[in-house]
């Protein structure tokens, strides 16, 4: 009977050891997942900073002013544009949409970045250290880990996606402005001449 009890004890000890190893490995993987995401967010933030806020603001201002100029030139009911000319105006409008709210987006991202990185790394360190309670003295059990891990990863991924989108909008908007500027200037000159001729024709018939 003693042998049986000892055998069972060894099995239980082995099982507990395996559970502990599996738990440690799981915590390690979760910690690395959180830390990798935090690092990738910082990389994405640096890439966003490489796209000049000032350049994006100037490009937006140009697009907004030139779109308004086109609207004024085309207010006359007899004014019309060709398909190619309409595409130029559409490009100016597209650049404006892409660059709109860049400063607001970046400010929101900066505010979220600090908080998100702190939470990702805080939870990662807690898992890595196998802490039993968080800073609020809440027990860190399996339910706590499951809920908070999912939440922090989702928040981090959402922030990273927002950074990539904001950078893409800025890059595309600036590139569109640089490409369309000469065509826009030429078209505005042509439209001013066209409008002047219409006004002269109307004046001559009155």
88, pLDDT greater than 90: yes
10, pLDDT greater than 50: no
pLDDT number for residue 186: 97
Across 58-77, average pLDDT = 96
Nearest to 34 by CA among 113, 118, 120, 158: 120
Decide: 194 and 74 in contact? Cβ < 8 Å. Answer: no
Dump pLDDT digits (tens) for 161-203: 999 999 999 999 999 999 999 999 999 999 999 999 998 888 7
129 confidence band (pLDDT: 50, 70, 90)? confident
Supply φ then ψ for residue 66, to 5 degrees.
-75, -35
pLDDT number for residue 206: 62
18, pLDDT greater than 90: no
> Among 8-22, 77-91, 97-111, which is the least confidently predicted range?
8-22
pLDDT number for residue 23: 54
Across 77-94, average pLDDT = 95
Decide: 177 and 62 in contact? Cβ < 8 Å. Answer: yes
1, pLDDT greater than 50: no
Task: Write down the pTM of the prediction.
Answer: 0.80
Residue with tokens 């006359």: 76
Phi/psi region, residue 137 (left: phi>0; alpha: psi -120 to 50; beta: rest), is left
127, pLDDT greater than 50: yes
Question: What are the domain boundaries of the chain?
Answer: 27-205
pLDDT number for residue 20: 45
Share of the chain above pLDDT 90, in %: 70
pLDDT number for residue 130: 87
* Exposure class string for 103-115: b at 16+ Cβ within 10 A, else e: eebbeebeebbee
pLDDT number for residue 15: 40
């Amino acid at each position: 009977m003693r042998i049986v009890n000892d055998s069972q004890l060894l099995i239980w000890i082995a099982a507990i050891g395996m559970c502990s190893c599996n738990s440690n490995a799981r915590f390690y993987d979760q910690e690395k997942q959180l830390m990798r995401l935090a690092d990738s967010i910082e990389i994405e933030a640096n890439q966003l900073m490489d796209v000049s806020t000032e350049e994006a603001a100037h490009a937006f201002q140009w697009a907004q002013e030139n779109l308004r100029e086109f609207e004024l030139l085309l207010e006359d009911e007899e004014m019309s544009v060709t398909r190619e000319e309409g595409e130029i105006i559409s490009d100016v409008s597209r650049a404006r949409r892409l660059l709109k709210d860049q400063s607001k987006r970046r400010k929101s991202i900066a505010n979220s970045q600090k908080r998100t990185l702190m939470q990702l790394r805080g939870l990662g360190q807690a898992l890595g250290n196998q802490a039993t309670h968080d800073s609020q003295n809440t027990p860190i059990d399996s339910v706590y880990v499951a809920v908070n891990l999912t939440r922090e990863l989702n928040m981090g991924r959402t922030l990273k996606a927002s950074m990539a989108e904001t950078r893409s909008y800025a890059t595309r908007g600036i590139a569109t402005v640089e490409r369309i500027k000469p065509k826009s200037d030429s078209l505005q000159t042509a439209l001013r001449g066209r409008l002047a001729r219409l006004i002269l024709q109307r004046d001559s018939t009155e």
